Structure 1
Amino acid sequence: MDDEKRMVDTYEIKHAIHIGDKEILFGVDERKSDCPYMVCNCSWDNPLGIEHYFNAMGSADYLEMMTEFTSRVTAQLEAVIAERTKITVPMQPFKLEHCIPIDSMQNLENKVVIINPERLRPEYRTADKQLVLVTGGFGAHANSRGRAVYTTNLYSGKESRWNREDILGVVRPEYMPDWAKERLAQIQSERHLKQKKQEIER
């Protein structure tokens, strides 16, 4: 059993709820009589996936900080719900039967793969979050000791880093939706133009 306490500065984290793109934290440091309670946000939206704490607030009033904590959690819930209402494609998640499983011998670069839904947060286990184009990374190559796989999400266009074990498999052609085919063609065209521009600038 892991009894290691999670700390943010001198505050021990007593409550943590991760919703959407942020985690909301409630910390306590009883030694700080003037400000024993703290609420802050945490995210990992950076190339190295390192915890980034921000928007910290402190107070000696427990109820004030608990109200702030619950308000931030509610705001995150509302943001995720609002984001979901804007999705214009079917959200039914992809499963193992929709893909070709991968092995260590397979090169994944420039292939459309499915992110394992178990590697996604519950609120993000939808098709628009699963289909990605592999663009590079040591983990994308066959028999590589590296794990990093860099991708572009077909729906949002967002670039992300995954580990090879986060990938469920390569999407089967018959299960590739029309919206994904259109976005794939657009992303590949944009990447080709960018590459051409870089070659000219050299």
Structure 2
Amino acid sequence: MYEEKRMVDTYEVKHAIHVGDKEILFALDDTKTDYPYMVCNCTWDNPLGIDHYFNASASADYVEMMTEFTDRVQAQLEAIKAERDKITVPLQPFVLEHCIPNDYGESIENKVAVIRPERLRPEYRTADKQLVLATGGFGSHANSRGRAVYTVNLYSGKESRWNREDILGTIKPEHMPDWAKERLKQIQTERQVKQKKYEQER
């Protein structure tokens, strides 16, 4: 079966490791005798979700570039370790038994949903990444043909878009941790203030 080559300009990607918020790429263009080996970073943190390549470095020395590649991967791992060290809540992930299972006949808008662990990158399959407040989107409605669910992460406050099938269910009240209850109140208050301000400015 033909597999399309992944290219970065004229370089063919030979190795790619995604760790944390970046993917590290090692690529080759053997027509460039002066610098056939190239290492760069890639992210998709933009409105269109397209590949954004940056911080490229090229050389004719394979060992030098492979060292650069592994150094960048190691740096990403260290960044994740540092990020985890700052997290002050239990990391044990939520599973189906902690949830009211996802029911497409029920609305999840304004409810605390649990992201499926397998829809998160392995290094992010932790409780702080799973609990989100569903704030809208057609996918949050009952019996909707839409898939998009807009959310606010309870721990970080980051806004994201998921598909309804990415959601395991809504958290059972008895499994809602205290930290999440507190953050939920804060987020709901902040959203109410923003809504009132918006209405007053109209």
Q: TM-score range by the shorter chain?
A: over 0.9
Q: Which residues of structure 2 form unaligned runs of 5+?
A: none
**Aligned twin of 1:80:** 80
- Letter of the structure 2 residue corresponding to residue 180 of structure 1: A
Within the alignment, does 1:10 sit opposite 2:10 as a pair? Answer: yes
Segments ≥4 residues shifted beyond 4 Å: none
**Aligned twin of 1:39:** 39
Deviation at 1:103, TM superposition (A): 2.3
**Aligned twin of 1:189:** 189
**Aligned twin of 2:160:** 160
Deviations 1:112-166 (A, max 9, x none): 0000000111111110000001111221122222222111110011111111111
Deviations 1:156-187 (A, max 9, x none): 11111111111100111110000000000000
**Aligned twin of 1:105:** 105
Percent same amino acid among aligned pairs? 78
Give the Cα–Cα distance (whole angstroms) in 1 for the partners of residues 2 and 91 of structure 2: 36
SS at match of 1:13: strand
Give the Cα–Cα distance (whole angstroms) in 2 for the partners of residues 46 and 64 of structure 1: 31
SS at match of 2:89: coil
Within 5 Å, give how 1:94-173 maps onto structure 2. Answer: 94-173=94-173
Q: Classify 1:174/1:17 alpha carbon distance in 2 versus 1 (closer, same or farther; 3 Å).
A: same
Give the Cα–Cα distance (whole angstroms) in 2 for the partners of residues 86 and 73 of structure 1: 20
Q: CA RMSD in A?
A: 1.2
Deviations 1:182-202 (A, max 9, x none): 000000000000000000011
**Aligned twin of 1:48:** 48
Normalised by the length of structure 1, the TM-score is 0.96
Normalised by the length of structure 2, the TM-score is 0.96
SS at match of 1:88: coil
SS at match of 2:26: strand
Give the Cα–Cα distance (whole angstroms) in 2 for the partners of residues 134 and 51 of structure 1: 27
Contact 1:47 1:161 in 2 (8 A): no
Deviation at 1:102, TM superposition (A): 1.5
- Letter of the structure 2 residue corresponding to residue 120 of structure 1: L
Give the Cα–Cα distance (whole angstroms) in 2 for the partners of residues 50 and 137 of structure 1: 22
